[in-house]
Structure 1
Amino acid sequence: MPPRKIIIDTDPGQDDAVAILLALASPEEIEVLGITAVAGNVPLELTAKNARIVCELAGRPEIRVFAGCDTPLARPLVTAEHVHGKTGLDGPDLPDPAMPLQDTHAVDFIVETLRAEPPGTVTLCPLGPLTNIATALARAPDIANRIAEIVLMGGAYFEVGNITPTAEFNIYVDPEAAAQVFASGVPLTVMPLDVTHKALVTGPRNDAFRALGTPVGRAVAEMTDFFERFDKDKYGSLGAPLHDPCVTAYLIEPEIFTGRHINVEIETTAELTLGMTVADWWGVTSRAPNATFMGDLDADRFFALLTDRLARL
């Protein structure tokens, strides 16, 4: 099989960085056509910068990075420096990027790429708020039928919320964009908190990253050293959950994950549940399924894959 062509839409974020590194370390399975930045974990200026920092860390300065939407569709931007630090990549000491930011807007790049590539050959991989993806679909409705699949990190069903009692951060930041994407008819595969909270970087797993003895291995270990403090304090967990690398791992070894094809609706109006992914896990409504929501993963296989691939960079 030829490599799967993807566009990574991202708001780095330490876990976004690891997801990008995993993709760039897996050219047999994944061809990264470009990386589009969106405001989310930190403002757009920093997410666009961080995406380029990660490409250079991976030794891939030829990857094109495009800046996209700097605010959600209908709301003020909510960021997550309390999790990721003021830069979004706090932890390792990484140099500013030398590679340029592309002049084209990220939304234009998404639309132009989907129109240029054969239908059904490009997968979109959003790792942050869905603003860029929703904007592209609204601006160019014809691209919906050209997208092979959207594989995204966001939402929850049993775990419920990490930014509010009922909402996961990526969906909460731009619920209107999420609602548009989930209603688009494009095949969706979703990595919710229920899965990503099982992808925990325990001490031995982080030691394995550091033991690679490479700049990438050390940087990933230092990212998770920083990132884990929030989840240890909040959840009493054993380490940092690697949310976004679940998206990339699914593209490489989908059998690591199990889930259900269900209906998922996005709450956009209720004050207490704004941004909630209302997931009909038990099939109690008559609403048609619109997303494959993952429910579990083989964590040992996930970390074996991740460590093996990071060793290549």
Structure 2
Amino acid sequence: MAPLNRIIIDTDPGVDDVLAMLLAFAAKPEELEILLISVTYGNVEVQSCLRNVVALFHVIEKEREWRKARGQLEGFEAMISSKPIVAIGADHPLEDEILMADYFHGIDGLAGVHTSHPHLSPSDAWKTLFQPSAASTSTGKVAEAHESSSPTASFTASQAPAHKEILRLLKENPRDSITIVCVGPLTNVALAAAEDPETFLRVKEVVVMGGAIDVEGNITPVAEFNTYADAVATARVFALTSPNPSSTMPPLPLKLSTLNPYPRQLSRPLKLTLFPLDVTTPHTLQRSQVSAKLDPLIRDGSPLAEWTSAFVHKTLDKMESLTRKQADPGLELHDPLTIWYMLTRSAPSWMLAPKAPEDIRIETAGQWTRGMHIIDRRNRKKGGVSQQVKSPGAVDISDPMDSLTIATAYDDDDAPGDNGGWLSLVKGNRINRIISSPGEAVFGKYLLERVFG
């Protein structure tokens, strides 16, 4: 019997992305099935991101061998039972110039770990696995492209673009059986949605780490990195949550004219759950926790503890150089929080914003506000009638339209003084925003225990 949580992880592996994947891979097979690692640019360029994914599998294999030799449980059953596909995706945003966070994550995305610990990095032989063969290039068949296996037992290398693998998996599996967890720029997901919107809408839920609502951004005063890196892609994905996607679609520049517009009528809206900085930032992994857990394992010879400790401590050093010195600095666990949600989503302490779903829109054209998440804070009624809102409570991914009253008449025109249709019942996005988790103080310890035992 397949697990309830079948996921695709769309990622630009830097430090917290790798911690998120470690948490997913360390799950039990009945908790998670990881179908695909969809790799995109972001923290560093896409080939470095791909290298980090392959290195992660490589180090976990070494770790399992080390544990087996010591007579321990080897762990990482979800990874072994899933044998995820790994596919390369976009290497640049839909519209803007590429933006990278190598100033923070290091030139390789993992604080230089490939240089400082070459004995834990894979050889370059893996690169040929992702190069399309002459047969697959001539036939153009996506189904054949993912069949070549890697020399590792841990993953299957795909020669198809990541967004096509996303669509293939959604098409070949039952509707509402796959969740896409997005912890990087949304370019791959936007490409999949543009190519085949109805197949894309077979997804159960899209879980997005991104944005800043009531807190400052981490790349500009108002924008979070993942959104800022491809604001147009984020806006296009968010638009699919709307009963009228065209009402929030970004203007289409000439060079993007090859992207398909969404059909006027879609079978249903997208279910999207957002993890902005407001909820992710307070979840931290303290330096003292890392040292207490990993130092004894390093002394005993754990490859994974050595590798993880290297880039986590280097990243904490970088944080201290950029901010005021703290007694016990913490690494913010933005991306891992989405995996914790997938593992514990039924817990009542996962709380949505009081007025969920919210009309959250993405600024794509502002000189200083690109990537900003915008909410209408005016005290005005929608559609001339009161809006029904849910009390804060456990996550519910039912139809995003269920929480709105049905007006007696729908009006496509904007209300007076409401340019953009913010007060309309048939315009605007419908985003479920997470505001609370099972516990900020316990997550760092939980992650370390799940991964390292």
SS at match of 1:78: coil
SS at match of 2:194: helix
1:307 matched residue in structure 2: 448
Q: Percent identity?
A: 32
Pairing of 1:219-230 with structure 2 (within 5 A): 219-230=307-318
1:109 Cα shift?
A: 0.3
Pairing of 1:195-274 with structure 2 (within 5 A): 195-211=279-295, 213=297, 214-236=302-324, 238-254=329-345, 255=347, 257-260=350-353, 261=356, 262-274=358-370
Structure with the greater alpha carbon radius of gyration: 2
Whole-angstrom distance in 2 between the partners of 1:306 and 1:252: 11
Tell me the amino acid that sits aligned with residue 117 of structure 1.
Answer: N
Structure 2 CA distance for partners of 1:206 and 1:274, relative to 1, 3 Å: same
Tell me the amino acid that sits aligned with residue 179 of structure 1.
Answer: A
Tell me the amino acid that sits aligned with residue 243 of structure 1.
Answer: H
1:44 Cα shift?
A: 0.8
1:167 Cα shift?
A: 0.6
Tell me the amino acid that sits aligned with residue 242 of structure 1.
Answer: L
Whole-angstrom distance in 2 between the partners of 1:160 and 1:311: 33
Tell me the amino acid that sits aligned with residue 105 of structure 1.
Answer: P
Pairing of 1:48-197 with structure 2 (within 5 A): 48-59=50-61, 62-90=83-111, 92=113, 93=117, 94-96=120-122, 99=126, 100-101=129-130, 102-185=158-241, 186-197=270-281
2:17 matched residue in structure 1: 16
Q: Does the 8 Å CA contact 1:229/1:240 hold for their aligned counterparts?
A: no
Structure 2 CA distance for partners of 1:182 and 1:222, relative to 1, 3 Å: same
Tell me the amino acid that sits aligned with residue 294 of structure 1.
Answer: I
1:205 Cα shift?
A: 1.9
Whole-angstrom distance in 2 between the partners of 1:219 and 1:245: 18
Whole-angstrom distance in 1 between the partners of 2:184 and 2:360: 18
State the TM-score, normalizing by the size of structure 1. Answer: 0.92
Moved more, 263-272 or 219-228: 219-228
Structure 2 CA distance for partners of 1:133 and 1:273, relative to 1, 3 Å: same
1:286 matched residue in structure 2: 423
Whole-angstrom distance in 1 between the partners of 2:208 and 2:182: 5
1:283 Cα shift?
A: 7.6
Post-superposition Cα deviations, 1:56-88, rounded to whole Å, max 9, x if no partner, equal: 223358432100111100111010110100000
Alignment root-mean-square deviation, CA? 2.2
Tell me the amino acid that sits aligned with residue 274 of structure 2.
Answer: V
Whole-angstrom distance in 1 between the partners of 2:112 and 2:447: 19
Post-superposition Cα deviations, 1:26-80, rounded to whole Å, max 9, x if no partner, equal: 1331100010100111111111111111122233584321001111001110101
Whole-angstrom distance in 2 between the partners of 1:36 and 1:207: 31
Tell me the amino acid that sits aligned with residue 96 of structure 1.
Answer: P
Whole-angstrom distance in 2 between the partners of 1:124 and 1:112: 13
Structure 2 CA distance for partners of 1:282 and 1:36, relative to 1, 3 Å: farther
Q: Does the 8 Å CA contact 1:212/1:218 hold for their aligned counterparts?
A: no
Q: Does the 8 Å CA contact 1:209/1:220 hold for their aligned counterparts?
A: no
Count the aligned residue pairs: 312
Whole-angstrom distance in 1 between the partners of 2:162 and 2:296: 34
Moved more, 115-124 or 60-69: 60-69
Tell me the amino acid that sits aligned with residue 182 of structure 1.
Answer: F
Q: Does the 8 Å CA contact 1:209/1:218 hold for their aligned counterparts?
A: no
1:293 Cα shift?
A: 1.6
Name the structure where strand makes up a greater proportion of residues: 1
Post-superposition Cα deviations, 1:233-260, rounded to whole Å, max 9, x if no partner, equal: 4454632111110111110123354331
1:19 Cα shift?
A: 0.4
Tell me the amino acid that sits aligned with residue 359 of structure 2.
Answer: N
Whole-angstrom distance in 1 between the partners of 2:313 and 2:193: 37
Whole-angstrom distance in 1 between the partners of 2:92 and 2:290: 34
Moved more, 275-284 or 85-94: 275-284
Post-superposition Cα deviations, 1:85-118, rounded to whole Å, max 9, x if no partner, equal: 0000125423126654421110110010000010
